[in-house]
């Protein structure tokens, strides 16, 4: 970046010094107060020499001075765009992949794009994959992206070499890891390429098996800070001593409530595509994996009275098994599997209610988006979900892995008067505006980054004035 900026500046100087002398003279005359105010040029200013002065060469073409001014303006803009990021703080988001998008991936992308808009330089580093459409979206927003191309996970030494080499060359101020594999890569790489600030985020209340827990314990002294997306996620990791309580902070996910405003036109359009009229449409969104417990949802759907429909948006390894189960249960006409849906928002607009059957959660983005879209919710009463859904006010919570209870709650919601469902949806959206807004989450992240940089780096971190109004909830533990 430095050499690019230097080269641009030298090019500007070269053009400036090689520009014809008559154009410089003409430019100076144009910038006199009289000329600037629109006064007519005197004969002398139009090209005649004053008595005793040496006549100037023939005047330049009429547009040459204007061309020169435009060239200078263009060079100034190019220098600004090339050099602006030299003094900007540089944050790197490290994540296993963006080829498959879930809640953690969406939140990391939102954070990267949001901080880029606030003047940070951002790089997203994926351990594997190409990034696909997500990488294009990031680059369009001015966020740098590259993949380490790791083919064997953390066992691929080439990925470690590439990442450590990049850290040494780019010297980011903040390195922020999301999800376990990226966390271990970032933590252990710090021994070979120290960064001013290293932190990672816990996105799930699940602490995994013995191997994962051992990896967290062995490396827990390496990050400057660990954040959790919810109180329940923090508590689950503290209880197993996977993180130092003094270094743990709860920073909840955020959602752009304005982007998720209900839209009657989109709703009508999507429902027309599906051939729907007054049928009640349930929407479920998430990766097709065991943690989401879609088999329980499908069994519950058998007991939900028709003509209710269920739309499931998401891809994953269980797609074929779930499709076979749906057909076996006689639901093939009532259940629609969308697969990966890049524009899932329009399905939120078309739905009448949102259902989540997970066995556990961190702070589910899909629930935040459903609430922002003013949808009433039926969800399992698990950590993370209960921090979003107020039972009886914004939705209904039921025990996990209980198809009968889930079917009862879905049926009761369908029989609730429409005005009461709208009231529940409005309460859910208001809760998002008050506690989970995206801009507030950006404020909290900037404040945390700035605090850590001021504590651990010699470079003073520039903090936004709005950040000072926000706070991070510290976690106490054993």
Query: 37-52: per-residue pLDDT in tens?
Result: 444 444 444 444 444 4
């209980």: which residue's tokens? Answer: 402
- On the question of pLDDT at 173 being above 60, the answer is yes
pLDDT-derived band at 169 (thresholds 50, 70, 90) equals: very high
Kindly report the CATH class assigned to 88-250: alpha beta
Among the residue ranges 63-72, 222-231, 262-271, 355-364, the one predicted with the least confidence is: 63-72
Sheet holding 174-178, edge to edge: 144-147, 121-126, 90-95, 174-178, 197-202, 225-228, 248-250, 473-474
Question: 465 vs 8, which has greater pLDDT?
Answer: 8
Q: What is the pLDDT of residue 78?
A: 47
pTM value is 0.76
Contact in structure between 406 and 356 (CB atoms under 8 Å): no
Once rounded to an integer, what is the mean pLDDT over residues 422-444?
96
Both tokens assigned to 149? 């191309």
Residue 78 CB neighbour total at 10 angstroms:
15
The angle, 0 to 180 degrees and rounded to 10, between the axes of the packed helices 2-18 and 64-83 is 170
- On the question of pLDDT at 1 being above 70, the answer is no
Query: 370-408: per-residue pLDDT in tens?
Result: 999 999 999 999 989 999 999 999 999 999 999 999 999
Query: 271-325: per-residue pLDDT in tens?
Result: 999 898 889 999 999 999 999 999 999 999 999 999 999 999 999 999 999 999 9
Q: What is the pLDDT of residue 277?
A: 87
Question: 232 vs 61, which has greater pLDDT?
Answer: 232
- On the question of pLDDT at 455 being above 70, the answer is yes
What average pLDDT does the chain have? Answer: 85
pLDDT-derived band at 87 (thresholds 50, 70, 90) equals: low
Q: What is the pLDDT of residue 102?
A: 87
Once rounded to an integer, what is the mean pLDDT over residues 128-147?
97
Both tokens assigned to 321? 């098994």
Dihedral pair phi/psi, residue 293, rounded to 5°: 55, 50
Q: What is the pLDDT of residue 42?
A: 43
Helix/strand/coil for 312: strand
Once rounded to an integer, what is the mean pLDDT over residues 98-106?
92
Once rounded to an integer, what is the mean pLDDT over residues 61-65?
51
Query: 196-232: per-residue pLDDT in tens?
Result: 999 999 999 999 999 999 999 999 999 999 999 999 9
- Rounded percentage of the chain residues whose pLDDT exceeds 90: 73
Query: 152-162: per-residue pLDDT in tens?
Result: 889 899 999 99
Helix/strand/coil for 338: strand
264-435 fold: Rossmann fold (3.40.50)
Cα 322 from chain centroid? 30
């Amino acid at each position: 970046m430095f050499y690019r900026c230097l080269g641009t500046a030298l090019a500007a100087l070269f053009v400036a010094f090689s520009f014809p002398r008559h154009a410089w003279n003409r430019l100076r005359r144009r910038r006199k107060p009289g000329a600037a105010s629109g006064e007519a040029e005197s004969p002398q200013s139009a090209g005649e020499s004053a008595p005793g002065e040496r006549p100037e060469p023939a005047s330049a073409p009429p547009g040459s001075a204007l061309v020169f001014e435009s060239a200078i303006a263009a060079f100034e803009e190019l220098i600004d765009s090339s050099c602006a990021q030299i003094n900007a703080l540089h944050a790197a988001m490290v994540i296993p992949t963006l080829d498959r998008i879930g809640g953690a991936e969406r939140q990391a992308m939102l954070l990267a794009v949001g901080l880029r808009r606030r003047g940070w330089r951002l790089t997203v580093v994926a351990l594997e994959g190409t990034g696909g459409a997500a990488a294009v979206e990031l680059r369009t927003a001015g966020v740098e992206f590259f993949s380490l191309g790791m083919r064997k996970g953390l066992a691929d030494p080439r990925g470690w070499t590439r990442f450590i080499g990049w850290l040494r060359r780019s010297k980011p101020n903040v390195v922020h890891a999301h999800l376990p594999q990226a966390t271990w890569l970032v933590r252990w790489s710090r021994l070979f390429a120290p960064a001013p600030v290293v932190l990672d985020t816990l996105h799930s209340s699940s602490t995994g098996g013995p191997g994962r827990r051992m990896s967290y314990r062995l490396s827990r002294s390496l990050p400057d800070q660990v954040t959790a997306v919810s109180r329940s996620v923090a508590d689950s990791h503290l209880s197993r001593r996977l993180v130092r309580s003094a270094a743990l902070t709860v920073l909840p996910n955020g959602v752009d409530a304005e982007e998720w405003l209900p839209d009657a036109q989109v709703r009508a359009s999507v429902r027309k595509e599906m051939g729907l009229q007054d049928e009640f449409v349930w929407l479920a969104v998430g990766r097709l994996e065991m943690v989401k417990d879609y088999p329980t949802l499908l069994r519950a759907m058998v007991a939900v009275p028709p003509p209710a429909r269920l739309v499931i948006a998401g891809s994953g390894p269980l797609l074929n098994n779930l499709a076979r189960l749906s057909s076996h249960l006689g639901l093939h006409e009532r259940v629609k599997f969308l697969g990966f849906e890049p524009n899932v928002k329009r399905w939120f607009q078309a739905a009448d209610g949102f259902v989540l059957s997970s066995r556990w959660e961190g702070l589910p983005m899909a629930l935040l988006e459903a609430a922002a879209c003013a949808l009433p919710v039926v969800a399992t009463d698990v950590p993370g979900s209960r921090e979003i859904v107020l039972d009886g006010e914004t939705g209904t919570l039921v025990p996990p892995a209980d198809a009968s209870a889930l079917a009862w709650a879905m049926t009761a919601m369908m029989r609730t008067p429409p005005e009461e469902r709208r009231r529940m949806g409005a309460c859910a959206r208001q809760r998002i505006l008050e506690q989970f807004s995206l801009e507030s989450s950006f404020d909290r992240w900037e404040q945390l980054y700035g605090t850590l940089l001021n504590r651990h780096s010699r470079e003073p971190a520039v903090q936004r004035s709005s950040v000072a109004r926000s706070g991070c909830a510290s976690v106490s533990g054993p």
